[in-house]
Amino acid sequence: MPELPEVETTRRGIAPFCEGQTITGIAVRDGRLRWPVPDNLPELLEGGIITEVDRRAKYLLIRVSGTAVSGTLIVHLGMSGSLRVITDTSEPLRHDHIELTLLSGVKLRFNDPRRFGCWLWSETPDSHRLLASLGPEPLAPEFNGPLLYRQSRGKQTPVKSFIMDNHIVVGVGNIYANEALFKAGIHPKRAAGRISLSRYHRLATEIRETLSMAILMGGTTLRDFVNSDGKPGYFAQSLLVYGHGGEACQECGMTLKEIRMNQRTTVYCGQCQR
């Protein structure tokens, strides 16, 4: 599944082509996504101007004004979706379910083979049910060690599950949780409430740095992910533990252990992580 760095990479890729542009058409070839695409979406969007392409957690927020009703397109890439900028006359692919045409001639195509993504419309996105209860952004100033420490008190939840909870902090998906916990030297099964403030300081720093580096490198290429120009990300080449179960730890040489937690692959070093 595309995680926060992949979504942020997509946002940065499409924003220069979209912001300030008028929407001249929208083709919904298959609206049967995770939630049905609104039937009146073309009516809402055509003639509107894209004022900003934003992101909240793993949702892209395409803000539109100047239509009959101004609002925001809430787009999620789902399990294997991608949003590509098309500047030529290439024909849509089989799973190109939605296409947004701009006055410049550029088209924005949404490809989603599994149809787990979404295209929804909201006039008040901050209060939308998908966004209203989300925690802070991991790259925002308000995300820090003290916040994690306060939220974790009394919790017996494994710390890996704790930092992947979108009510605590958004966008720390499985891959990046594995990596940040390894860099912070924290065992993924350790109870969240039994971790000190100083260790949460380090974990918050490692989460921020891991995600920032992944964004700079264009995300992690796993299965179907490609960014907005169709090129893959390269952060997978820098992964220290994820995907390396059974191999030697790069820090101490011990064999990395691989287990399942909440049906997710978890890789850690029993020597380096306590």
Catalytic residue, candidates 11, 55, 58, 199:
58
Q: Say whether 199 is catalytic.
A: no
Q: Say whether 115 is catalytic.
A: no
CA atoms within 13 A on the CB side of 230: 6
Cβ pair 143, 194 in contact under 8 A: no
Q: Say whether 231 is catalytic.
A: no
Catalytic residue, candidates 34, 155, 257, 264:
264
Q: Say whether 107 is catalytic.
A: no
Q: What does the DSSP assignment read for the chain?
A: ---HHHHHHHHHHHHHHHTTPBEEEEEES---SSSPPPTTHHHHHTT-EEEEEEEETTEEEEEEESSSS-EEEEEE-TTT-EEEEE-S-PPPPTTEEEEEEETTS-EEEEE-TT---EEEEESSGGGSTTTTT----TTSTT-SHHHHHHHHTT--SBHHHHHT-TTTSS---HHHHHHHHHHHT--TTSBGGGS-HHHHHHHHHHHHHHHHHHHHTT----TT---TTSPPP-GGGG-SSTT-TTSBPTTT-PBPEEEEETTEEEEE-TTT--
Pair type for strands 23-28 and 264-268: unpaired
* 200 Rama class: left (phi>0) / alpha (psi -120 to 50) / beta: alpha
Catalytic residue, candidates 2, 125, 138, 158:
2
Q: 253: which 2 tokens?
A: 């040489």
Q: Which residues are catalytic?
A: 2-3, 58, 264
